[in-house]
Structure 1
């Protein structure tokens, strides 16, 4: 799949957030979206997700594309366990879904945390649940808005390995403020 972004612009009143953004993005790659706070990274994601309308420009290649996302806020079901949060997005919703959810979560979380309500987890643990959930949804494109927030360096490296392992054939766009993330993800830098 190839996503073509053509002269995309978005303003909020007098504030111009995106101006004439033109990109060509392909499946099988990780793109690292960088720019200062307020440069439009989250707005760009919201437009790709259909949550916001661009003022002008176009997107080509979005037809029939299944998209999943990690938002800046985790958007988890706080009273559910991590396993329940993941199992609900796995097609089929059978006992196999719960087993698969548990196996995926164990790659990033300690076993004792899997049966607790998400509300009792640390911010970094919640972040990992949100990442596993986004990568468990059947999708062609994955958007991750600052996914490494709240993660220590060791945990971040584990999460990066997990992301790289789970996204080989997908189009992945990750917003980050850390230039080293581009190299760690073997990504392509895109600036806004």
Structure 2
């Protein structure tokens, strides 16, 4: 379990977090949504150890292995699809196990036939699938994902969200997903944390018990959760922009 206890963080002159507390549950997907600029990415960076809190404590991450998916794929352009995954595995698993993981994850997202191709030959969606494969294949204690579907069109976005759900079901892991899209949270989140504008505070904490494989955004209870999240976010938006 990752635990943030009364964490405070200022970036420049901006107070991003103040007395912020959160426990991330093991073996579940926790989604964090909220207004743009509210501190979602800062939370991930604190959990990953890329930033340090000014006040408060973060526990559960000591000596933990972290896998991180950024908004952009950040692939090694001079390495093939298979080599991009092998690169992060070279010091942590045996060569035989490395090949097993490469085949397993590339097959899972339909990229195995492209294993000898270079990233420049891939579409945007394929590059993001590769980035997701690489992150899931790396042996980790928890996975952090920072709006990995942000730049994708809706059909491709939904396809990737479904693929992430299948990957997680095959190997349930602790995941924290930051997103601005309620649909992502509905389809992937076991728990959804709705944040306020900065300094971020938790406005709502929603638990969705429907198995990932059975989720349908037009069937209850998901439309009800959608309405609940939207109402909270709209109320927060009116506070920030009362004249709109």
TM-score, structure 2 length as denominator? 0.71
Query: What secondary structure does 2:116 align onto?
Result: coil
* Runs of 5+ unmatched residues, structure 2: 196-244
Structure 1 Cα separation of the partners of residues 15 and 62 of structure 2: 27
Match in the other structure for 1:176: 179
Give deviations 1:85-130, integer Å, cap 9, x for gaps.
1122233352552343033112213444322111221221111111
Contact 1:68 1:141 in 2 (8 A): yes
1:60–1:96 Cα change, 3 Å:
closer
Q: Does 1:60 align with 2:37?
A: no
Match in the other structure for 1:160: 164
Match in the other structure for 1:48: 47
Contact 2:143 2:176 in 1 (8 A): yes
Map 1:16-165 → 2, pairs under 5 A: 16-90=15-89, 91-149=92-150, 150=152, 152-165=156-169
**Greater Cα shift, 82-91 or 139-148:** 82-91
Structure 1 Cα separation of the partners of residues 21 and 171 of structure 2: 24
Structure 1 Cα separation of the partners of residues 39 and 2 of structure 2: 18
Residues paired across the two proteins, number: 190
* Runs of 5+ unmatched residues, structure 1: none
Match in the other structure for 2:242: none
**How much is the aligned-residue C-alpha RMSD, in angstroms?**
2.0
1:172–1:79 Cα change, 3 Å:
same
Q: Higher relative CO (CA 8 A, sep ≥ 6), structure 1 or 2?
A: 1
1:26–1:118 Cα change, 3 Å:
same
Structure 1 Cα separation of the partners of residues 61 and 187 of structure 2: 28
Contact 1:28 1:167 in 2 (8 A): no
Give deviations 1:114-152, integer Å, cap 9, x for gaps.
221112212211111111111111111110111223261
**Greater Cα shift, 77-86 or 88-97:** 88-97
Shift of 1:40: 0.9
Match in the other structure for 2:190: 187
**Greater Cα shift, 113-122 or 153-162:** 153-162
Larger Rg over CA atoms: 2
Contact 1:84 1:98 in 2 (8 A): no
Higher helix share: 2
